[in-house]
Amino acid sequence: MRVIRDQEFGGERPLYASHDLRLENVTIHIGESSIKESSNIEAENCRFEGKYVFWETDGCKVNNCYFAESARSSLWYSRNCRMTNCKVDAPKLFRRMDGIYVENTNFPNGEQYLWDCKNIELKNVRIDNCDYAFMHCENIKISHYHQEGNYAFQYAKNVEIHDAVINSKDSFWESENVTIYDSEVDGEYLAWYGKNIRLVRCHLTGEQLLCYVDGLILEDCTFGEDANLILEYSTVNGTIKGNVHSIKNPTSGTVIVEGKVGELIWDENQKAPADAKVIIQNSP
């Protein structure tokens, strides 16, 4: 593997079509497509200031590097990329990619991250300002994750999340095959029109959660005081621990509430088969 140390590059495509290359303490100044159409690239202690850095790259390992805000859209159309221990101020990363591993990295400017990507794994990651993250992504594994931003995981498929804090209005909208363990999820309209959604020991807050869901499973979940009108037109089974503000017109299944329900609404708008059961234990 060829090694480049302690150098600076700028302009357009300075390392274009590089293969089997290791960069150490290298700075890529303002420019475009610095390492485009490359393969088997390693970067250690590097600084990236130009945009479109790793486009059409097959195999990159980036450790302890910095992506400036000007390095927007730096990872697109690439495969098998690993990012660890980095500081990233760049927006719009990860687009149409296959094989993404990110660990111990924070993204304070996560606008439109992770669109149309697959085979994603995140560990100990925080993304702020991340409106529309994970749009149309699939095969996602996440642990020890914190997110601030709306509309996350829309149209996502095959998602497994552990130990997360997700603050996002309209998250998991029309998503499919999602399991979330031991996490806090806050935001209105959670998982509307989703399919096969399983929540295990989660705390859920926000208005009108989990409506229009086909195949919802709740295992020992709790709901915040603002969680009103939940489960409308959903097929749902499981157990809720603690009190619930209000439940409205679930379609089918059985829900056991180990607490109180402020209001249980069954009206003429309930959809067929209209055979859902809500069993309230320790009710007033």
Q: Are 48 and 67 spatial neighbours (Cβ–Cβ below 8 Å)?
A: yes
Please list the alpha-helical segments (H only) found in the chain.
none
Q: Are 108 and 86 in contact (CB under 8 A)?
A: no
Long-range CB contact pairs, 280-284, < 8 A, 24+: 281/256, 281/257, 282/258, 283/257, 284/260
Res 257: pLDDT: 96
Q: What are phi and psi of 254, to 5 degrees?
A: -135, 125
Statement: the pTM of the whole predicted model exceeds 0.75? yes
Map residue 175 onto helix, strand or coil: coil
pLDDT at 227: 94
pLDDT of amino acid 9:
95
Output the tens digit of pLDDT for each of the chain's 284 residues: 999 999 999 999 999 999 999 999 999 999 999 999 999 999 999 999 999 999 999 999 999 999 999 999 999 999 999 999 999 999 999 999 999 999 999 999 998 899 999 999 999 999 999 899 999 999 999 999 999 999 999 999 999 999 999 999 999 999 999 999 999 999 999 999 999 999 999 999 999 999 999 999 999 999 999 999 999 999 999 999 999 999 999 999 999 999 999 999 998 888 889 899 999 997 54
- Considering only CA atoms, which of 173, 155, 160, 186 is closest in space to residue 212? 173
Structural domains in the chain, sorted by start: 1-90 (2.160.20)
